[in-house]
A and B are shown apart, each in its own frame.
Chain A
Amino acid sequence: MAAASAAVLLAAGCGGGGPASGGDEKLTGDKIVLGVLNDQSGAYSELSGKNSVKAVEMAIADFKAKYGDKAVTKDITVETADHQNKPDVANSKAAEMYDRKGADIILDVPTSSAALKVADVAKEKKKLYFNIGAATTDLTGKSCNKYTFHYAYDTYMLANGTGKTTTEQVGKNWYILYPNYAFGQDMEKSFSAAITKAGGQVVGKDGAPFPNTSGDYSTFLLKAPTLNPKPQVLGTMQAGAELVNVVKQYNEFKLRDKGIGLAVGLMFITDIHSLTPAALAGTTYTDAWYWNFDQQNRAFADRFQKETGTRPSFAHAANYSAAMQYLEAVQAAGTDDADTVVKGLEGKEINDVFLRNGKIRAEDHRVIHDAYLAQVKPQAEVTEPWDYVKVLKTIPAAEAFRAPSADCKM
């Protein structure tokens, strides 16, 4: 008899307590967990990698300093994982982050194929995902979904900025060299479209082997001056170490002296550092953010350098901004419930250290912001380490990104 009443009491206690505590709790587990999933050991580990994690930690510190006791919670932590640029690893690590590590959001994720996998996971788990490191426009095209936001850049932004302006200012005839896989083919198409639209023409294009095991591009570089009409611009879509090979050999064959300028599809400040500005002087490319553009950027870059010993790439600044804007959105909503936070983010206009004239488009979740056409300085004009670039022109947010795609169905 006594045992039975105790059991009833216990059952009543559990049943009564459960919903009540769930209703009071605005944050799951009374804490916020930010997941950073990126390449921590491979080709992209320098332009994003562990320093992206540092940038997110800086955002958390700034958020806490800003709100103090009024913050939704003081318990904000970071979970990190290395996806090794492999889609299948990214897939399982993302699921693990959301399910087991309790991540409210996943940030960064370079490498387009891996980025698209994580978008599927975010959709399935109904958790937020801000992509920063990947370039594919599919994230806001056919793979778009309610929980995925594309934050920093994409192939359209790169092609539109570099392709259009270089055609207008340097030369109308292009020879395009691209690595023959998804990213490179995507870039080639975007560039060809932008060049033609600006009144230029692609007089030749070649897909180089990817990965290029021989490291040799001489066949293509020698072909460029023999084309008719002769190209005035060599557009290279190679990235990372392959870009380094192309540029070294471009200089070796003295194509600049032969009247062929260089335009680079995707370049990070870390690439310029490893090639030295002398090897790239005069090269134009589109940058999503530059650390020495103005006082605000520079102040951030100084703090970042204190933490990491190096200057931030645009991906680092974007990770900081994305983490900060997510925390602000949770603060404003008073909850980490994904659907509520998404509602608060959609259509929001933002100005911060990374986003200038930024806006989170509700239609496709493309985060639009000003982009920059940049040119590598001649060695003689480089006065301090890492200050390798001058910004030729700011591309207004509305022009920098494509209009929402019809392929995107939320």
Chain B
Amino acid sequence: MSGFAQNTFNGLVSGAFYALLALGLAVIFGMLRVVNFAHGAFYMLGAFGAYVLLTEAGVPFWAALVIMPLALGLLGMALERAVIHRLTRLDPLYNFLLTFGLTLILQDLVKTRYGVQSSPYATPAALSGSVDFGLFDFPTYRVFILGFTVLLCVGVWWVLSRTRIGMVVRAATERPELTRAFGIDVGRWVTPVFGFGIGLAGLAGVLAAPMRAVNPLMGADLIIVVFAVVVIGGLGSIFGSVAAGFGIGLVQAWGESYLSDFPIVSQTIVFIVMAVVLLWRPAGLFGREEAPA
């Protein structure tokens, strides 16, 4: 029983990272119709930024947790203005070429400066202990990640469902043409939303630094699963991406512990789930079929 609870908890922690990344991808896709293949690179930049801030300037984890998402959000907005917005009129293939190319450039820039070996980043002292839950004890840092991510997702949900900005974003995501017809300037929200999505990726990166290997390829490994998460949740569905993120984290953790005698299944379980979901609901669990043009 305590084993099951621990695995569940761990699944939710992994899921928290998927949810943060998938949420960013979902709002970006919803607003811009751009699939951002560079998302993993921004996650990596978040972690590396935290490392550089700590080693070069002595900036602690807590400050990095605020600085990096803001800095990367601004970088994202600049990139959106400079290149990303040009994609809207082009064939989707260019979307892939541009964002994947960006990934390679960012990865190699970091590689050139810091090499491929992982860089050290310690868990902040205040969170390095463990919390006793009676049945089992759990690293404080993981409890923090889970609590923080859940709060953040609730916060995003509140903004989207209760504020005027949220209303515009939701409307523009679902029916961009109709929203424009009501005289709402959708365009001015595109850049901030892109920056927001990138900021979330950077935030996930900072959170990952103490518990994952910080190296230039850390995002490239993770992003494959995140794309599966987004597809399962329904491309562009904000709620779907978060739910699928936590769900996939759970499926992976349970798969690893209860299907460990079938490594082939436990290693590919995310993609098995994705295939099944796509057969059953081609638009994903929470996605809606595009209305025929």
Residue contact A214 to B14, C-beta cutoff 8 Å:
yes
Instruction: Using A219-B256, A248-B212 as known contacts, say yes or no to A275 and B118 having CB atoms under 8 A apart.
Output: yes
Which residues of chain B are near A282, meaning CB under 8 Å?
none
The A-B contact count (CB < 8 A) is 96
The interface bits of chain B over 122-154 (1 if a CB of A lies within 8 angstroms of the residue's CB, else 0) are: 110000001000000001011000000000000
Instruction: With CB as the reference atom, state the residue of chain A lying closest to B255.
Output: A219
Which residues of chain A are near B221, meaning CB under 8 Å?
211-213, 215
Instruction: Using A180-B263, A209-B267 as known contacts, say yes or no to A253 and B139 having CB atoms under 8 A apart.
Output: yes
Which residues of chain B are near A283, meaning CB under 8 Å?
none
How many interface residues does chain B have, given as a range? 35 or more
For chain B residues 190-219, which have a beta carbon within 8 Å of chain A?
A: 208, 210-213, 215, 217-218
| In the bound complex, CA of A248 to CA of B123 (Å) | 9
Residue contact A43 to B116, C-beta cutoff 8 Å:
yes
CB distance from A135 to the nearest CB of B (A): 18
Partner of B225, one of A41, A46, A213: A213
Known: A214-B225, A276-B122; 14 extra A-B contacts, CB below 8 A, are: A43-B217, A212-B221, A215-B213, A216-B10, A216-B13, A219-B257, A222-B6, A241-B118, A241-B215, A244-B118, A248-B211, A252-B141, A254-B130, A275-B118
Instruction: Using A43-B116, A245-B213, A253-B139 as known contacts, say yes or no to A219 and B10 having CB atoms under 8 A apart.
Output: yes
Residue contact A274 to B222, C-beta cutoff 8 Å:
no
| In the bound complex, CA of A206 to CA of B252 (Å) | 15
CB distance from B96 to the nearest CB of A (A): 20
Residue contact B118 to A222, C-beta cutoff 8 Å:
no
Instruction: Using A209-B267, A241-B215, A245-B213 as known contacts, say yes or no to A215 and B118 having CB atoms under 8 A apart.
Output: no
| In the bound complex, CA of A214 to CA of B213 (Å) | 11
Which residues of chain B are near A41, meaning CB under 8 Å?
111, 116
Taking the complex as formed, is A273 at the interface, i.e. its CB lies under 8 A from any CB of chain B? yes
| In the bound complex, CA of A249 to CA of B252 (Å) | 17
For chain A residues 22-73, which have a beta carbon within 8 Å of chain B?
A: 41-43, 45-46
CB distance from B174 to the nearest CB of A (A): 32
Cβ contacts A to B, 18 pairs, < 8 Å: A43-B217, A180-B263, A208-B256, A213-B222, A214-B225, A216-B253, A219-B257, A222-B6, A241-B118, A241-B213, A242-B213, A248-B210, A248-B211, A252-B123, A253-B139, A271-B117, A274-B118, A276-B122
Taking the complex as formed, is A270 at the interface, i.e. its CB lies under 8 A from any CB of chain B? yes
Taking the complex as formed, is B224 at the interface, i.e. its CB lies under 8 A from any CB of chain A? yes
Interface centre among A45, A208, A248, A276 (most CB of B within 10 A): A248
Residue contact B224 to A213, C-beta cutoff 8 Å:
yes
| In the bound complex, CA of A219 to CA of B257 (Å) | 6
For chain A residues 238-297, which have a beta carbon within 8 Å of chain B?
A: 240-242, 244-245, 248-249, 252-254, 270-271, 273-276, 278-279
Residue contact B142 to A46, C-beta cutoff 8 Å:
no
Q: Which 6 A-B pairs have the closest CB atoms?
A: A244-B213, A241-B213, A209-B267, A218-B10, A219-B256, A244-B118
Residue contact A207 to B224, C-beta cutoff 8 Å:
no
Interface centre among A253, A270, A279 (most CB of B within 10 A): A253
Which residues of chain B are near A46, meaning CB under 8 Å?
115-117
| In the bound complex, CA of A266 to CA of B118 (Å) | 16
For chain B residues 252-274, which have a beta carbon within 8 Å of chain A?
A: 252-253, 256-257, 260, 263, 266-267
Which residues of chain A are near B257, meaning CB under 8 Å?
219, 223
Instruction: With CB as the reference atom, state the residue of chain A lying closest to B266.
Output: A209
Residue contact B120 to A275, C-beta cutoff 8 Å:
yes
CB distance from A41 to the nearest CB of B (A): 7
Taking the complex as formed, is A226 at the interface, i.e. its CB lies under 8 A from any CB of chain B? yes
Which residues of chain B are near A276, meaning CB under 8 Å?
120, 122
Which residues of chain A are near B123, meaning CB under 8 Å?
252
Instruction: With CB as the reference atom, state the residue of chain B lying closest to A206.
Output: B260
Q: Interface residue count for A (Cβ, 8 Å)?
A: 40
CB distance from B3 to the nearest CB of A (A): 6
Interface of B is mostly: helix
Taking the complex as formed, is B7 at the interface, i.e. its CB lies under 8 A from any CB of chain A? yes
Instruction: With CB as the reference atom, state the residue of chain A lying closest to B225.
Output: A213
| In the bound complex, CA of A220 to CA of B7 (Å) | 10
Taking the complex as formed, is B179 at the interface, i.e. its CB lies under 8 A from any CB of chain A? no
Residue contact A273 to B222, C-beta cutoff 8 Å:
no
| In the bound complex, CA of A226 to CA of B117 (Å) | 33
Instruction: Using A252-B211, A274-B120 as known contacts, say yes or no to A241 and B7 having CB atoms under 8 A apart.
Output: no
Residue contact A249 to B217, C-beta cutoff 8 Å:
no
Residue contact B117 to A274, C-beta cutoff 8 Å:
yes
Which residues of chain A are near B213, meaning CB under 8 Å?
215, 241-242, 244-245, 248
CB distance from B226 to the nearest CB of A (A): 9
Which residues of chain B are near A240, meaning CB under 8 Å?
118
Instruction: With CB as the reference atom, state the residue of chain B lying closest to A275.
Output: B120
Instruction: Using A213-B221, A214-B225, A215-B222 as known contacts, say yes or no to A222 and B111 having CB atoms under 8 A apart.
Output: no
Instruction: With CB as the reference atom, state the residue of chain B lying closest to A223.
Output: B257
Residue contact A270 to B117, C-beta cutoff 8 Å:
yes
Which residues of chain B are near A211, meaning CB under 8 Å?
221
| In the bound complex, CA of A41 to CA of B217 (Å) | 11
Interface centre among B120, B130, B225 (most CB of A within 10 A): B120
| In the bound complex, CA of A358 to CA of B130 (Å) | 49
Instruction: With CB as the reference atom, state the residue of chain B lying closest to A257.
Output: B130
| In the bound complex, CA of A242 to CA of B118 (Å) | 10
The interface bits of chain A over 337-366 (1 if a CB of B lies within 8 angstroms of the residue's CB, else 0) are: 000000000000000000000000000000
| In the bound complex, CA of A222 to CA of B254 (Å) | 13
Which residues of chain B are near A273, meaning CB under 8 Å?
117
| In the bound complex, CA of A279 to CA of B211 (Å) | 12
Which residues of chain B are near A219, meaning CB under 8 Å?
7, 10, 253, 256-257
Which residues of chain B are near A252, meaning CB under 8 Å?
123, 139, 141-142, 211
Which residues of chain B are near A215, meaning CB under 8 Å?
208, 212-213, 218, 221-222
| In the bound complex, CA of A252 to CA of B208 (Å) | 13
Residue contact A214 to B252, C-beta cutoff 8 Å:
yes
| In the bound complex, CA of A393 to CA of B224 (Å) | 44
| In the bound complex, CA of A218 to CA of B249 (Å) | 12
Instruction: Using A248-B211, A248-B213, A254-B130 as known contacts, say yes or no to A45 and B116 having CB atoms under 8 A apart.
Output: yes
Which residues of chain A are near B263, meaning CB under 8 Å?
180, 207, 209
Which residues of chain A are near B222, meaning CB under 8 Å?
213-215
CB distance from A315 to the nearest CB of B (A): 13
